[in-house]
Amino acid sequence: MEPPIGYRPSNIGIIQKMELPNEASKVINTLVNITGMTLTALASHVYEMTPKTLASYRQKGKVLPTRSLEVSLKLQDLYSKGTGIFGDKDNFNSWLKKESYGLGNRKPINLLNTASGIDLVYEELLRIEFGATA
């Protein structure tokens, strides 16, 4: 039996990580380090909140809302795959800002605010990895 569309073994890992205590400041700082994005870019492209609101989550003891945490963890997984394919985060970030034929000529960075969008970008990376881009 084939796994469902969009399934990756790492999805189970993400669910398990969501069950652990996740302090927002650690999650956000990890994303800043992995992605190389500024807080302003993360706030607008990923969390859809103001930079001030995102900065407030960096206070000790604060926890991200569940959906934001899920997107954060999936984004970490996406960056692991993307930097593996493109060589480093700068090349991957450059690709994220270009229109992608496999994503209906959308810029991948504009899909990073939902779990489904991240899954679509991940699937596009798999197509690139295996040379099935046409």
DSSP string computed for 52-74:
HHHHHTTSTT-B--HHHHHHHHH
Q: Which residues make Cβ contacts (< 8 Å) with residue 50, sequence separation at least 6? A: 43
Residue 88 lies in a domain: yes
Residue 107 in any domain: the answer is yes
Any domain includes 3: no
4 inside domain: no
pLDDT digit string (tens) for 85-98? Answer: 999 999 999 999 99
Q: Kindly report whether the global pTM for this prediction surpasses the value 0.85.
A: no
Number of domains in the chain: 1
Whole-number Å distance between alpha carbons of 48 and 67: 12
pLDDT at residue number 14: 62
In a domain, residue 134? The reply is no
State the Cα–Cα distance between residues 80 and 66, nearest whole angstrom.
21
In a domain, 1, yes or no: no
Name the residue range of residue 56's domain: 10-129
- Structural contact between residues 123 and 107, judged by C-beta atoms closer than 8 angstroms: no
